[in-house]
Structure 1
Amino acid sequence: MPGPAPHVASLPDPGDRALVVLVDAPSGLESRLIDRWLTTAAPDNGRRVETVPAQGEQLAARLTRGDNPLLVPLRLVWEPAGPAPEKPLLRLLDAVTRRSRLRDRARARRASRADQGHSEGARHRIVVGRPATVRELMLRHRRERMGTHTEDFVRFVAQQATLALDRAERGVLGNRSKVPREVSDQIVGGAHFAREVRRLAVETGRGEEEIAAEAEKDLQSLVAAMDPTAVDLFSGVLRPMHDRAWEVHADTSGLEPLRELGAEHALVFLPSHRSYTDPFVLAEVLRENDFPRNHVLGGNNLRIWGLEALARRSGIIFIRRSFGKDLVYKAVVREYFSWLVAKRFNLEWYMEGGRSRTGKLRPPKYGLLSDVAHAVETRRAADVYLVPVSIMHDQLQEVHQMAAEQTGTAKTPEGLRWLAGYARAQRRPVGKLHVSFGEPLSLRQALSSAGDPALERSPDDVDGDATDASARRLALQKTAFEVFVRINRVTPVTPIALAALALLGVRDRALTLSQVRRVVEPVLDYVESRKLPHTGVESLRTNGGVAEALLSLRQQQVVSAYTEGTEPVFSVEPGHHIVAAFYRNSAIHHFVNRAIVELSVLEVDDDDDGRAALAAGFTHALALRDLLKYEFFFPDKETFRAELAAELSLIDPDWTEVGRPVSRTKEILLASKFLCAHRVLRSFVDAQWLFAERLAAWDVTRPVVESELFDDCSAVGQQLLLQGRLHGPEALSRELFASALRLAGNRGLVEVPDTGGAAARGTSVEAEHADLAARRRAFADEVRAVVGRVVRIDETDARNRQESTGVRP
């Protein structure tokens, strides 16, 4: 039955079959109006139209009569009387009474007035779902459900009628009202669920009944409803958390392709994540553009007493933050996701696993993506489209707390008291919020291009062998990285980000408005030449525009101003460099390739030219890419190579000329008004160098303890900062230390050799300890060399702008 509804409600011609209308009418008023419509809409073939309720004993009796009638589901829907009220209290009242008896009586009075010829009568429409014969439904039931008894078939027919009518109703009222029905019953009664139970029973050695009971309990804890009244209530309660703080600007040009894709496939929205309010903002944007509400995944830490029940009825799925070892829960999540995407319900989660503490994207978590991929790999869904979403804030109220967490402050646990304080903090306007939609990514195509072996397996082979599992993980990683690359492409450059970029580029100095403008103007030229997305950064070409951006940062206590001299000067507020870095980092990804090109050109030998110079430059660029791979997201190597070539052409348009020496390109680079490696990469390579030095000093016979090593980095880093050997305090970030630790682990510099392992490899543990110490020192020296190149760019840029890096009158 599910399928697109006809444009004009009418009953189909059943031919030689009986025509049975399945009436979905929750009230007597709706039943009477449907009966009235049926008297004029019956086919003109002389056959009587039977009507039965869409569920219950009468439906069961009709289905077991033994013939093969054509079943047609039918429903009356009330059209909205007008737009939703603007005032919150009235909007809340409207949501509460929308389905009440009081509202039904009012509708009845208006319908009666309409019968008497009054134009202001209640407006309603009859919707007809796609018909199906009893035999067609029986075949579908046997294919999709394990049960074959009559009671289950009657329930299945009722569910299919409801789904068909829901789809037809959306053709009248719009897509916002897409609602999942009887989810648990459909999943538990399905053939896929029964197969999962049998597989888990064999794998764990437990009984099928025990597994099934645990799985049903887990499923009940997960399944979210989508009650339209609850959705409106939940939105009304939480809307003030973003309504006052930001003026929302959405680039909706990326939504039109999604509208067409969403008609055939489930969409998975994967936004960047900087604020707790992100899901509410995105929900509002989608609602205003007539998209159905997403099923939004939230961690169990957000189960707030008093709001949890309402949130679950509004499509929020509360999920454990970690469940890898719980095989039953893992299988239930996978089955629930497969059901949702097979039924084309849209999903939304935040792949970073939490809010960004640095302003840029965090490393993705792959577990939930793996569960959605399973639906495609097992042919439960032909395809799913991943939707990259950028949510960008000019400023954030919560950024100071997140910055404190980077230096070791404990995170405040979520709860009612926390929520009240958070809501109070959002009352003050802090600027604009920008929502952009990236190019959607076919999950099937992405996995196929990345070589996912699970696409070729039998749908019943859930896990495959160990080799397949490794290749599948790599395919998921590449897919997630591509989503993040697409998020970055549509994330705009903001005036706030560029103002922070300018101030963080100088150490212990204040800048005048004109000096900030001189730093920013070449960046603006670059943004224009690259046609990067931005939000009015051209205003920074004037002192007034620069002052406005700095004033915004000053109001948030990120920037301080000294105004008692001949002209105002601005600097980063002491102790708030990590906050300023947060705003800078929101746009920094647009400049990373340029920074890599600058550092790579410096390393190429002046005697090289042509192919040799190109190969050497790309080798140096790949080494930097490897060093930064846990900080930034890069496309595949061929795309990366093409992007670097485009960057080099902006520096030296003639670099491809035969016989052109590298020295000429270096001259042009070092004379450029726009050098950015020091402003873009300094805090990251400083943090890596600090970490690498402390790792090299760590006893190679002792296992690395993350918290102790990070504490050591912070303590020594503070000393180096006071000595002037680190550029700025923003490098003393535990998030940056964590990225450096992942890089070191990837290079085999963290795990300590033991005697047994050394013997198995035919060496001594002493020799392996010495080798580890040497490799750790080489890592520190490698990063130190990169820092040296960054410093050279810094000094060259200061010279080009005729500014001193030292202290002089």
Structure 2
Amino acid sequence: MDVLPRVYLTAPNSDTEQRVLAHWFTQHPDPAGAPPESVEITDASFADLARRDDDPLITPLRVVWLPGEHDGRGARHLRELLSPRDPLHPATATQRRLLRTEPDRCVVLEGTPARLSDLRRRLENTGGGSLPDYIRRQAALTLERAERTVLGTQYKVSRFVVDEITDSNRFSEGIRALAARLGMTVADADRQARGALEEMVAAQSRRAIALWDQLGRYFSRAYRLDLDAERFDELRELNKEHSLVFLPSHRSYLDPLVLRPALVAGGLPLNHVMGGLNVSFWPIGPISKRSGTVFIRRKMEGDEVYKWTLREYMRYLLTKRFNLEWYIEGGRSRTGKLRPPRYGLLTYLAKAFRSSQVPDVYLVPVSITYDQLYEVSAMAAEAHGQIKQKEGLRWLVGYVRAQGRRRGVAHVTVGRPLSLAESLGTESDHDDRLRLAIQKTAFEVCHRINEVTPVTASSLVMLAFLGIEDRALTVPELGALLGPMVDYITSRSLPTAGDVDLTNPQVIRSALITHVDSGVLRRFDKGTERVYYLGSDQHLVAAFYRNNIIHFLVVRAIAEMVLQAAVDERFTDPVVDGWAEALRIRDLLKFEFFFSDKDTFREELRRELDLIEPQWSKALTDPRHADRMLAEVQPYLGHRVLQPFLEAYGVVADQLLRVPANRQFDEKAFMTGALALAEQRRLRQQIASSESISAELFATALAVARNRDLVDPGGDDLIARRVEFATEVRVLIDRVHRIRALAHQSLDLVEGLRVEPGA
């Protein structure tokens, strides 16, 4: 039986590695007992290898030097991290020393062999380029995979990405078609596409990865990581066959640095993180790009070549089974709750997936929340109209310094993975139904993020302090407020961060102290007893933490509003009338919250009413019974959840009445006027808190008005419809104010019980 000739490909970086390979060859002779045939990739004879007709089995070899043990501290380790060299390929002098003192750290790796005929056929199938260049790239890639067996699964480095994409037949054909469609020369289209690839492709290096990990730990040192690892077994199993696309909530610039060690701890490779060019400044940009960040332009309108290139790059990543990551909200939440999803990258992903031969891709929702965040105060100022500080080196220095104080826990929870193939179905790429499928997919991801976002003691404390005007609370009053809230959370089996026991007073006390230390809460000790209150202009900051869990509470708040409507309107059919009222509120707030579909929403509303009064459908036929039900609600959540949104919507509705119906709408001037009107109402105590003075809330309210065709000029009945809109909002504000009054009466009872007789 004939034995296939074998040729070893080598690329020694030094004389030391040359000697190591020579020794290795003596230990692995050919069948005749002679040293095996080898060719250096840099030799002139390498080109001759590609012309051979005896079909040799080509096996790439590489010498690597295993990292030594270290404790992660000290000047020597820092120098190693800052060195541009790959940790597996040290300097020549270091190699000589290691071979003499620690020879076990020197290893010869074998890549997966391939016959020359197989390589030739694969090149013909994939596209252009010379056979020697193709062999060189394939050898490097298989050796990279071999190195992963040494370093672990977190490293999944792909070299020659631009060459692999641009040397393919698909790229050449696509460029020609693109040039014809856009009316440009093939050369110009090719040049622009290659330039875009060079700009966006992440060139991972292990040294940069190690440095970025060290910087990440330093930047996020203010937090202890709380990782819910329940789903990681499922993710590892899915990742054996499919790419995973992680879609986390976006609360902070720290999010990628917090998620990264969580994935490594879960045994998953590092993601390609799709980031904006606004954070590509030196030194963060170059380091993060070499550790897996894909910097993309925030605005691509009109640049068809760039959009096509991004789609092709994403297709390549899916084909190679790399994992991706981006933030589905498009930017950090300014309010603490999920923003509406952005569809751009998800659309590119869907089209890249459709054009590939990949059977499926799994979207992974991820919730990231923090006990405290340094940047919340800045975001609150932006919501009041302050200009956002531009990211840069000076900004970075200030940001990193601010992380020197402990800020509690960063909570990371993974939601249920979602099959992209099932979500898209069989819709055509050019069909409007595909656009709808992408939108539904994005909303489902957001639902799954919300359902695993945990209730934290930090957010619960803020929930108690919002909705009580500027009133200070004693410890017993705080306990009276939190007790029913904890009971409600327990009755619904809502997820809690780290499975902490919210009934434990020490847990709440710790959260209280954290907020006092950060300045969100203040403490007054000079009276008869200690009281706590919200700091000056801290309502928006407090709301950020409250809003982390608001999605769990919004249907309950609507249920309370339905009860108040039953008292006001004397429902004849509580089921029909109550449902109609709930749908009106749902429609008004549909751009603010991620509501379930109507059937599920109906069941959620029934569940909330059952928790208040199991016999609610009978009780609501009599206004007196409805009034009694409302008076006995524990806890009151309507004003804590809905009042700031309704009052902000009221500002927008009333500001619209001031806009002439026949004048072109000026959004910038409108928002300036709305902020001024809201500030005036706050000073006159017509708005409960500065939380409602928010450009973000005004923008959403304006989106609702646009959806109802109330913004742009036109139509004889525009003024009447604007008045109707303002009236609708005012009625809801009046109802939520009465729920707030009931809550205050309940709190007054707690204070009254503590007053000594005759005092």
Which position in structure 1 is the counterpart of 2:105?
A: 123
Say if 1:91 and 1:236, in contact at 8 Å, map to a contact too: no
Shift of 1:585: 1.0
Which position in structure 1 is the counterpart of 2:475?
A: 513
Determine the C-alpha separation between the residues in 2 that align with 1:521 and 1:101: 60
**Structure 1: which amino acid aligns with 2:80?**
L
Shift of 1:615: 5.0
Determine the C-alpha separation between the residues in 2 that align with 1:681 and 1:435: 27
Determine the C-alpha separation between the residues in 1 that align with 2:119 and 2:621: 73
Determine the C-alpha separation between the residues in 2 that align with 1:353 and 1:84: 38
1:239-289 CA distances to partner (integer Å, 9 max, x unpaired)?
32211x112222222322222222222222222112212212222322344
**Structure 2: which amino acid aligns with 1:562?**
F
Q: Residues 409, 89 of structure 1: CA spacing in aligned structure 2 closer, same or farther, 3 A cutoff?
A: farther
Q: Residues 775, 598 of structure 1: CA spacing in aligned structure 2 closer, same or farther, 3 A cutoff?
A: same
Aligned to 1:256, what secondary structure does the other structure show?
A: helix
Q: Residues 537, 166 of structure 1: CA spacing in aligned structure 2 closer, same or farther, 3 A cutoff?
A: closer
**Structure 1: which amino acid aligns with 2:288?**
A
Determine the C-alpha separation between the residues in 2 that align with 1:690 and 1:184: 52
Determine the C-alpha separation between the residues in 1 that align with 2:358 and 2:627: 53
Determine the C-alpha separation between the residues in 2 that align with 1:670 and 1:379: 60
1:472-529 CA distances to partner (integer Å, 9 max, x unpaired)?
2222221111111111122121222111111111013111111111111111112222
Q: Residues 787, 58 of structure 1: CA spacing in aligned structure 2 closer, same or farther, 3 A cutoff?
A: farther
Which position in structure 2 is the counterpart of 1:554?
A: 516
Equivalent runs, 1:374-773 vs 2, <5 Å: 374-448=351-425, 452-454=427-429, 464=430, 468=431, 470-535=432-497, 541=503, 545-603=507-565, 613-653=574-614, 667-668=628-629, 670-753=631-714, 768=715, 770-773=716-719
Which position in structure 2 is the counterpart of 1:216?
A: 194
Shift of 1:404: 0.7
Note if 1:137 corresponds to 2:119.
Answer: yes
Determine which of 148, 151, 165 is the counterpart of 1:170.
Answer: 148
Determine the C-alpha separation between the residues in 2 that align with 1:283 and 1:406: 29
Determine the C-alpha separation between the residues in 2 that align with 1:328 and 1:94: 38
Shift of 1:785: 2.4
Note if 1:327 corresponds to 2:304.
Answer: yes
Shift of 1:587: 1.6
Determine the C-alpha separation between the residues in 2 that align with 1:87 and 1:442: 46
Determine the C-alpha separation between the residues in 2 that align with 1:778 and 1:172: 69
Determine the C-alpha separation between the residues in 2 that align with 1:530 and 1:444: 33
Determine the C-alpha separation between the residues in 2 that align with 1:544 and 1:567: 19
Say if 2:477 and 2:750, in contact at 8 Å, map to a contact too: no
**Structure 1: which amino acid aligns with 2:421?**
R
Determine the C-alpha separation between the residues in 2 that align with 1:619 and 1:21: 76
Q: Residues 43, 778 of structure 1: CA spacing in aligned structure 2 closer, same or farther, 3 A cutoff?
A: farther
Equivalent runs, 1:173-322 vs 2, <5 Å: 173-243=151-221, 245-322=222-299
1:38-90 CA distances to partner (integer Å, 9 max, x unpaired)?
55556869999543345764343222112333333344444333255245762
**Structure 1: which amino acid aligns with 2:113?**
P
Which position in structure 1 is the counterpart of 2:54?
A: 67
Determine the C-alpha separation between the residues in 2 that align with 1:98 and 1:330: 33
Determine which of 732, 735, 749 is the counterpart of 1:789.
Answer: 735
Say if 2:477 and 2:751, in contact at 8 Å, map to a contact too: no
Alpha-carbon RMSD: 3.0
1:81-105 CA distances to partner (integer Å, 9 max, x unpaired)?
3255245762442562654976554
1:678-720 CA distances to partner (integer Å, 9 max, x unpaired)?
1111101111122112113311111222221122222222232
Q: Residues 620, 446 of structure 1: CA spacing in aligned structure 2 closer, same or farther, 3 A cutoff?
A: farther
Shift of 1:375: 1.5
Aligned to 1:177, what secondary structure does the other structure show?
A: coil
Aligned to 2:670, what secondary structure does the other structure show?
A: helix
Q: TM-score, normalised by structure 1?
A: 0.86
Say if 2:571 and 2:578, in contact at 8 Å, map to a contact too: no
- Structure 2 unaligned segments of length 5 or more: list them: none
Aligned to 1:297, what secondary structure does the other structure show?
A: strand
Q: Residues 537, 441 of structure 1: CA spacing in aligned structure 2 closer, same or farther, 3 A cutoff?
A: closer
Determine the C-alpha separation between the residues in 1 that align with 2:727 and 2:322: 52
Aligned to 1:409, what secondary structure does the other structure show?
A: coil
Shift of 1:437: 1.5
Equivalent runs, 1:333-372 vs 2, <5 Å: 333-372=310-349
Aligned to 2:591, what secondary structure does the other structure show?
A: coil
Say if 1:594 and 1:647, in contact at 8 Å, map to a contact too: yes
Say if 1:18 and 1:47, in contact at 8 Å, map to a contact too: no
Determine the C-alpha separation between the residues in 2 that align with 1:100 and 1:162: 14
Say if 1:672 and 1:800, in contact at 8 Å, map to a contact too: no
Aligned to 1:324, what secondary structure does the other structure show?
A: coil
Aligned to 1:175, what secondary structure does the other structure show?
A: coil
Shift of 1:744: 1.4
**Structure 2: which amino acid aligns with 1:52?**
V
Which position in structure 2 is the counterpart of 1:22?
A: 9
Q: Which moved more, 1:292-301 or 1:667-676?
A: 667-676
Aligned to 1:478, what secondary structure does the other structure show?
A: helix
Aligned to 2:204, what secondary structure does the other structure show?
A: coil
Determine the C-alpha separation between the residues in 2 that align with 1:738 and 1:218: 33
Q: Which moved more, 1:336-345 or 1:47-56?
A: 47-56
Say if 2:570 and 2:621, in contact at 8 Å, map to a contact too: yes
**Structure 2: which amino acid aligns with 1:773?**
I
Shift of 1:439: 1.6
Shift of 1:367: 1.0
Determine the C-alpha separation between the residues in 2 that align with 1:630 and 1:476: 17
Shift of 1:540: 5.7
Determine the C-alpha separation between the residues in 2 that align with 1:58 and 1:640: 72
Q: Which moved more, 1:531-540 or 1:690-699?
A: 531-540
Q: Residues 48, 104 of structure 1: CA spacing in aligned structure 2 closer, same or farther, 3 A cutoff?
A: closer
Say if 1:352 and 1:363, in contact at 8 Å, map to a contact too: yes
Shift of 1:350: 1.8
Say if 1:92 and 1:232, in contact at 8 Å, map to a contact too: no
1:302-344 CA distances to partner (integer Å, 9 max, x unpaired)?
1223443333222222221111211111111111121122212
Shift of 1:212: 0.8
Q: Which moved more, 1:32-41 or 1:278-287?
A: 32-41
Which position in structure 2 is the counterpart of 1:10?
A: none
Aligned to 1:392, what secondary structure does the other structure show?
A: strand
Say if 1:510 and 1:571, in contact at 8 Å, map to a contact too: yes
Aligned to 1:268, what secondary structure does the other structure show?
A: strand
Q: Residues 50, 208 of structure 1: CA spacing in aligned structure 2 closer, same or farther, 3 A cutoff?
A: same
Determine the C-alpha separation between the residues in 1 that align with 2:90 and 2:536: 60
Say if 1:513 and 1:543, in contact at 8 Å, map to a contact too: no
Q: Residues 702, 54 of structure 1: CA spacing in aligned structure 2 closer, same or farther, 3 A cutoff?
A: same
Shift of 1:571: 1.6
Shift of 1:625: 2.3
Query: How many residue pairs align between the two structures?
Result: 749
